Structure 1
Amino acid sequence: MARLDYLTNLLSVYDHDPRCSRQFALGYSAVLGSLTASSSLTSKRYPIWPLVRKNLDGPFDQCLASYEGEWAKRLLAGARLSEMAHSPPLSYASPYIACPGIYGGVLTADILASGSVAARPENIPEIDWQFLNLDRWDSNIMFAIRSLLDSTGVPFEGAEPLCGALESVRDLFRLMRHFRPQRTKALRDFDALIDDRTRPQDGGFCELCWRVSIRSNRLQELAAQQRHEVREIVRSAQCQLSDEEQEARLAQAWMLESSLRLSPSCTLISKAEAAKLRLVFERFRIERIVAGNLSCRYCHVHKPGSPKYHADLRYKAAFQRHLTALSGTGRSEFAFNFRAPSAADTQEIRKVAYDQVHSGLHVVTARKAPSLGLREKVWLMHAEGISQSEMARRLGISRQAISKAKKSLESLMNTHHAGSYINPLTGEAQVPDPVRKVIRDATMKGLSITVIAKEVGLSKGTVDGLVRLMGSSKHAKS
């Protein structure tokens, strides 16, 4: 099921195409407006497809009938829009290389009978059957859109509303992937497993820091491994093929992930290769089902029950509040705020929030309203242009304490900035190699995280993540 905390943003991303007709746009908006965090594709209490039938079937049929030009309309025959998840298309488009001469071919599509099974096989869960059919229809819609475009990619006269409706349907199908049921039966031999449930899978972050969740991390690993194995099979051919033909072979290979069989025109993939690919896709499908049992709320550093989990759990509420402040929907509780790096991605924004609430500027774990710390008070007075002597008088402390507070703020900002950029491959701070070497050597000497962080000028949270990364890399190599 879609989670409530991101449902609003999710629906705004998958809004209708502006080119579609007004009636279709109204129906599309009505469907999105009726979706809730409890909606799912197989729910009887909070169903989705009846919403599509009520609001979009009629307008979509009108869009199809309104265009009188020539196009690949037969690709959409066989089911109404609300029935496409439950019924495979009668025909489908298959990419292949057309070679009119010896100087190269053109990537085009062949329309043929699919030979797909009309009823759901017993060993496929209902939700997987729906996604399988949506993938098939999405492929057909994509090629149907291409048939409405001229050689320059511009829709034919009068085809824009239909193109808009078809693109909107593709967005709708992508949106539906965020509404898996909470629990589904998997394969015949895996009924006890829990399928991957919380959406979105690839963007799930730990509730306590900037890292991706254990489940998302595992799913990303599986996706990368699957892409590698599929490419290895596709590239294993001994014959010399052009780049265009290699891309077509790869496209045909990926068709097997969502199709029960290849079309006769898919001559670039042999039967032996198809058999290998089916085994690969089936193995990774089972692996993804197993990954559904992993945590979608916490990362490998903050596994529930671990010392790091208990240490940072006290900061959870403050961390979430500062995230809202960084997104512009809330107000920061700090007078001295770290700045995000230029062109920051989501992880780097979350790293700013993590460093901020762990900066020690003032107490954030108490239930009562936080009060500003000494350094924050000094910062506010400094922004007003007040002299150090006046600051010391107002705060009742020495000028040396004021100077020390200013230097502490400068050091704190430099410490955050040194670890503010995130390596997208590792999910940890991007630091120079010499710094990594110092951390590695200090770890081998048995120095504590606090001592190492002070030596290299990084925060303890940043150093802790790098030390864990080096440890996991060392274990992987061994």
Structure 2
Amino acid sequence: MARADYLEHLLTSFASDPRCSPDFDSGFKAVLSGLSVSSSLTSRRYPIWPLVRKQLDRVFDRCIESYKGDWARVLLAGVRLSEMAQRPPLLWAIPSTKLAENGDSTLAVEIVVSDLVDAKPEGMPEIDWQLLNLERWDSNFRFAIRSLLGPSGIPLPDAGVLCGALESVRELFRLFRHFRPKLTKALMDFDALRDDRTRPQGTLYCELCWRESIRSKRLQEIDVNERQGIGAVLRSGTLTEDEQDVRWEQALMLKTCQHLPPTVALISRAEAVELGRVFGGFRVERMTAGNLSQRYCSIHKPGSSKYHADLRYKAAFQHHLSVLMGSARSDFAVNFRPPDAADMQEVRKTAYDQVHSGLHAIAPRRGALIGLREKVWLMHCDGLSQSGMAKRLGISRQAISKAKKSLEQLVNAHHAGNYINPLTGEAQVPEGIRDDIRDALRRGLSVAAIAKEVGLGKGTVDGLVRLMDSR
């Protein structure tokens, strides 16, 4: 995994739950600050788990002890936080159904003694063992949090701090999945010899724009197809909604190699065998997807014209991402704002539109001079009239007026395409705009001419045109 350029963004993407205690939040941040590009879950030279032991073990235990109410505490018993990657749960929660007095079935949780092997199986790579245990513990954390919630889904009185700590641990474990060793020593077997490229990576984005990487898109497609495959096996018209939910939960437990006790299992042996075939098939597909690029999207494949056109903006794009994340200072006098409640793609598109706006030249080193439109904006903020601006800059009033109009058009073009359609990954624009783009294409207009005609940015129009061509 090429973490060097991605580490800063990765660490800013994960944060502790705002409900957790100040001590836990401080320990969480200390763990993050101790991670480096060389850290991995199995490294002895740059280890992760000693960080957790030093910064979080005691404060996590105090969080548990501080809550005196009744909850599923036994699900986290017997193992320290820093040991969870090495040891599976002693007990684990299995979703089941409970029959009420009126005959309706309701969702329940059965806590049973774990029959999981306590030691790493011979031949299993260490990283696979750790990731498997983290996934098992995550299931217990989910049910422990559920036991702290009232009927309305709100934490019980005084349980907010503990809920925050448990959610923060889940977030930390999700972060750790990105810190796999670059090489894994294992048996010379296709099913065992798997490196960091072939495991789920979370959503990764193109280094040059807002779009998801080729690998992330493919893994998402596989996830959708796998859910459809599970649904085809579990589909039944005779079961209640609660019972169907339980069957889904139990199917996902089978995916992590957990055996279901017959007393609570709502999945038949034949269904379990069929689910095994489904999981096995998609596991191979995920391993194949591991060969796809995680650094670039399909539009910015290395060697393509779009890749070479945008490569010189890479440093500026990454820097402005840091600006929008609050960890750097902007080089621009006029800054585009992400839309309200923006997701990561919309934040990244704002950064892309900013550095491709042409407000000033993107210099190979910091310290580029601001452009005319930015100077006009700064003077406008100072209250200068157009005559005063023209006199100070030594240009005509018409040039000032033209610069102001150009700046307004630029900002409006960004706002018109700043929301992202989650299904396509491109700008979400009205159907009428898309019709205008199709009409302009039939007339043979260039992307730049179309962008000017419909009032959108060139990058936005380029993405929409490519989407239309792919269909």
Query: Structure 1 length as normaliser, TM-score?
Result: 0.82
Further displaced range: 65-74 or 29-38 = 65-74
Q: Match for 2:88: what amino acid?
A: P
SS of residue matched to 2:97: strand
- 1:195 maps to 196
Q: Take 2:401 and 2:228, find their aligned partners in 1: how far apart are those partners?
A: 56
- Aligned-CA RMSD value: 3.7
Of 216, 237, 242 in structure 1, the residue corresponding to residue 240 of structure 2 is 242
- Letter paired with 1:300: S
One-letter amino acid of the counterpart of residue 305, structure 2: P
**Distance in 1 of aligned mates of 2:418 and 2:26:** 44
Query: Aligned equivalents of 2:382 and 2:62: distance in 1?
Result: 65
State yes or no: 1:17 paired with 2:17. no
CA offsets per residue over residues 363-415 of structure 1, 9 Å max, x none?
A: 11454732232333333333344343444344333333333223222222222
The correspondence of residues 67-466 of structure 1 with structure 2, limited to 5 A, is: 75-76=75-76, 79-101=79-101, 103-121=103-121, 124-143=124-143, 169-184=169-184, 188-189=189-190, 194-196=195-197, 201-235=201-235, 237=236, 239-367=237-365, 369-466=367-464
Amino acid corresponding to residue 112 of structure 1 in structure 2: V
* In structure 2, C-alpha distance between the alignment counterparts of 1:65 and 1:386, rounded to whole Å: 63
Q: 1:417 to 1:265 in 2, by over 3 A?
A: same
Paired residue type of 1:89: P
Alignment coverage as a number of residue pairs: 466
Kindly indicate whether the alpha-carbon contact (under 8 Å) linking 1:193 and 1:293 is maintained by their aligned counterparts in 2: no
Offset at 1:430? 0.8
Q: Which shifted more, 146-155 or 302-311?
A: 146-155
Q: Report if the CA contact (8 A) 2:16-2:28 is conserved.
A: no
Q: Distance in 2 between matches of 1:160 and 1:339?
A: 33
Structure 1 residues 160 and 450, CA, compared in 2 at 3 Å: closer, same or farther?
closer
Contact (CA 8 Å) 1:182, 1:197: kept in 2 or not? no
Which has the larger displacement, 166-175 or 40-49?
166-175
Secondary structure at the aligned position of 2:197 is classed as coil
Q: Unpaired runs of 5+ in structure 1?
A: none
In the TM superposition, residue 273 of structure 1 has moved relative to its aligned partner by: 1.6
Distance in 2 (CA, whole Å) between partners of 1:31 and 1:401 is 54
Change (3 A) 1:315 1:249: same
Contact 2:211 2:425 in 1 (8 A): yes
What's the CA shift string for 1:103-153, capped at 9, x where partnerless? 212322223344334444457433222222222233335445666788898
Q: Evaluate the alpha carbon distance shift between residue 109 and residue 349 of structure 1 in structure 2; reply closer, same or farther with a 3 A threshold.
A: closer
Task: State the Cα deviation string for residues 266-322 of structure 1 (Å, max 9, x = none).
Answer: 432122221222222222233333333332222221112111111111112222233
Which SS does the other structure have where 2:425 is aligned?
Answer: coil
CA–CA distance in 1 between the matches of 2:62 and 2:403?
A: 70
Residues 378 and 65 of structure 1, relative CA distance in 2, 3 Å threshold: closer
Seen in structure 2, the aligned counterparts of structure 1 residues 444 and 230 have a Cα distance that, compared at 3 Å, is: farther
Distance 2:28 2:327 in 1: 27
Kindly state the Cα deviation for residue 463 of structure 1 after the two structures are TM-superposed.
Answer: 0.9
Q: Residues 47 and 323 (structure 1 numbering): CA distance in 2 closer, same or farther, change over 3 Å?
A: closer
Structure 1 CA distance for aligned equivalents of residues 334 and 466 of structure 2: 30
Change (3 A) 1:325 1:290: same
- Tell me which amino acid in the other structure corresponds to 1:288: R
Q: Rate the CA distance shift 1:245–1:438 in 2: closer, same or farther, 3 A.
A: same
The CA distance in 1 between the partners of 2:63 and 2:372, in whole Å, is 65
Q: Which moved more, 1:217-226 or 1:168-177?
A: 168-177
- Structure 1 residues 84 and 192 mapped into 2: Cα distance closer, same or farther (>3 Å)? closer
The CA distance in 1 between the partners of 2:320 and 2:166, in whole Å, is 40
Question: Which amino acid in structure 2 is aligned with residue 189 of structure 1?
Answer: F
After superposition, the C-alpha distances for 1:163-197 in whole angstroms (9 at most, x for unaligned) are: 77766654543443232222336882256764338
**Identity of counterpart residues, as a percentage?**
59
> Aligned partners of 1:228, 1:463: CA distance in 2, in Å?
33
1:325, 1:57 → 2: CA distance? 34
Partner of 1:5: 8
Q: 1:386/1:373 Cα in 2 relative to 1: closer, same or farther (>3 Å)?
A: same
Maintained 8 Å contact 1:420/1:429: yes
Q: CA deviation at 1:53?
A: 5.1
- Of 55-64 and 366-375, the range deviating more from structure 2: 55-64
State the 1:72 CA deviation. 5.7
Distance, in Å, in 1 between the alignment partners of 2:62 and 2:164 is 13
Say which one has the larger Rg: 1
In the aligned structure 1, how far is the partner of 2:390 from the partner of 2:280?
70
Select between 316-325 and 161-170 the one with higher mean Cα deviation.
161-170
Structure 1 residue 10 displacement after superposition: 5.3
Tell me the secondary structure at the aligned position of residue 110 of structure 2. strand
8 Å Cα contact 1:148/1:156 also seen in 2: no
Determine if contact 1:388/1:399 at 8 Å carries over to the other structure.
yes
Alpha carbons of 1:415 and 1:397: their partners in 2 closer, same or farther (altered >3 Å)? same
The answer on whether the counterparts of 1:74 and 1:91 sit within 8 Å (CA) in structure 2 is yes
- Distance in 2 between the 1:56 and 1:379 partners? 49
Structure 1 Cα separation of the partners of residues 365 and 447 of structure 2 = 29
Maintained 8 Å contact 2:206/2:213: yes
Which segments of 5 or more consecutive residues in structure 2 lack a partner in the other structure?
A: none
Tell me if structure 2 keeps the 8 A contact 1:16–1:25: no
Cα distance change on mapping 1:74 and 1:193 into 2, 3 Å: closer
Cα distance in 2 between the residues matched to 1:384 and 1:74: 63
Partner of 1:39: 39
